[in-house]
Amino acid sequence: MLVIIQNNSPYEAGYEALRKLHWKTKKEGIFIKPNIGATSKFVNTDPEIVRGIIHYCKKELGITNIAVGEGAVETEYESTPYNFHYQGWDKLAEEENVELIDLNKSERFNVNWKYGKIALPTVLQDKAHINAAKMKTHMQTLVSLCAKNQKGLLNSETRKAFHRLGLHEPIAELAKVLKPDLCLVDGIVGIEGNGPGELGIPKEVGIVVAGDNMVEVDKTCCKIMGINPEEVKHLNPFDTQTDDALIPKVYPFKRPDKGFRMLNVYMRPENACTACMSSVGKMNKLARRSWKTRWLFFQNGILHRLDIVIGNPPTVPENHGKLIFYGNCTREIAKNFPQYPFIKGCPPISKEALEELANFVEKDPTFS
């Protein structure tokens, strides 16, 4: 069963979605997995939607054993606790007397899947699982909805491994072994363009989609976004059908680019993880504080083209400028271009990466 809620406040939409579904569970506890993976408020699930879900579970089902959890990207300046505090989830948890779990530090149990064993949070063993995602475009997976949101249940190393495995297939394989009891997508304000983070553009849609079949929910969201679900590779293995008569209106989302460009600096995400992309962003901000690195990015990034290579691409871009190989995943391809700097780390610490780059320029002034 699937419902679409329109033109409600976030709180009302969360509550009303479950009420219209007549949602129930035989389990005595609830675990809610929102999308809180980024350090920007507007690209994550609205906490008030989750408050509505919590109130429904308490008032309609009499369930008070409720937990909310996320495993966010971890860099030198990002973490799950930081996101919880920055976005007000710790306040919500205190007000509603629910447990707040950092899934990066949670206990885990193993289940079999295509690639051997995968470690899942033990909180899933005794609680009903509610997946509360955000309606977003994504530069690597075209969309980020409930199936993609499940990636935040995994530990940091497994999330990174998903990118090395090609991202699309492991997301689909995870969806085969882990099926939430309820899925909900916050489309009140979605993200279009170069999502899923701050490069994306907020888009007011005013919709919440909810149902008990994750693939049906995701495919319905795709159609609302004006995207053919068949274009979303991690949904292709599933032949679940959608009821198009339920869709009130299509809100065409601007599609993401395959790479992005700032002035004359180019970067393609390809198989890179969010941690490396975040680290590059931090390095770019730090670069403005030193005359050496300011000159470097002025010469290569404004006057001339500069390509920052991240992830594990099979080739470097055609017509590339000077190259910076950023992160351990680029180690092998960097060997083919010894004249350019390779910055180690998984992800690199941005301050140290900038120092390495400055040292490289000192040793080889021709780079700048």
Amino acid code (one letter) for 89 = W
Q: What is the pLDDT of residue 364?
A: 73
Q: Is the separation of the CB atoms in 183 and 265 below 8 Å?
A: no
Q: Is the dihedral of CA 295, 296, 298, 304 positive or negative?
A: positive
| pTM, to two decimals | 0.91
Which of helix, strand or coil describes residue 306?
Answer: strand
Q: What pLDDT band is residue 283 in, cutting at 50, 70 and 90?
A: confident
- Tokens 């489309």 belong to 187
Summarize the confidence of residues 255-278 as an average pLDDT. 84
Residues 6+ apart with CB under 8 A from 170: 114, 115, 161, 162
In the CATH scheme, what is the code of domain 2-246? 3.40.50.11440
Could you tell me the pLDDT band of residue 248, with boundaries at 50, 70 and 90? very high
Task: Provide the pLDDT for residue 24.
Answer: 97
Question: CATH 3.40.50.11440 in the chain, residues?
Answer: 2-246
**DSSP for 58-121?**
HHHH---EEEEEE-----SS--HHHHHHHTTHHHHHHHHT-EEEEGGGS-EEEEEETTEEEEEE
C-alpha distances (whole Å) from 13 to each of 192, 236, 295 are 21, 29, 51
Q: Each residue of 322-332: pLDDT tens digit?
A: 999 999 999 99
* Segment 80-106 mean pLDDT: 95
Mean pLDDT of 336-359: 89
pLDDT(42) > 90: no
**The residue type at 50:** V
**pLDDT > 90 in the chain, percent:** 70
Pull the structure tokens for residue 321: 């400028």
Looking at residues 194-216, what average pLDDT do you find? Answer: 93
**Contact between 100 and 85 (Cβ < 8 Å):** no
Q: What is the pLDDT of residue 94?
A: 98
What's the whole-number mean pLDDT along residues 109-117?
97
Whether pLDDT at 368 is above 70:
no
Select the more confidently predicted residue: 287 or 267: 267
Mean pLDDT score of the chain: 92
The pLDDT score that the predictor gives to residue 130 is 98
Average pLDDT over residues 92-102: 98
> What is the band of 102 on the pLDDT scale with cuts at 50, 70, 90?
very high
Q: pLDDT tens digits for 55-77?
A: 999 999 999 999 999 998 887 77
pLDDT above 90: residue 273:
no
- Distance, in Å, from the CA atom of 168 to the CA atom of 172, rounded to the nearest integer, reads 6
β-bridge mates for residue 31, sequence order:
67, 129
Q: How far is CA 262 from CA 7, 290, 299, 341, 342, in A?
A: 36, 19, 14, 20, 21
Would you state the CATH architecture of domain 260-367? 3-Layer(aba) Sandwich (3.40)
Looking at the predicted structure, is the pLDDT value of residue 140 above 80? yes
Q: If residue 30 lies in a helix (H) or strand (E), which one and from where to where?
A: strand 29-34
DSSP H or E run through 160: helix 156-164
Handedness of CA 288, 291, 292, 298 (dihedral sign): positive
Q: What is the pLDDT of residue 272?
A: 85
Cβ 96 vs Cβ 49: under 8 Å: no
Question: How many other CB atoms are found less than 10 A from the CB of residue 164?
Answer: 13
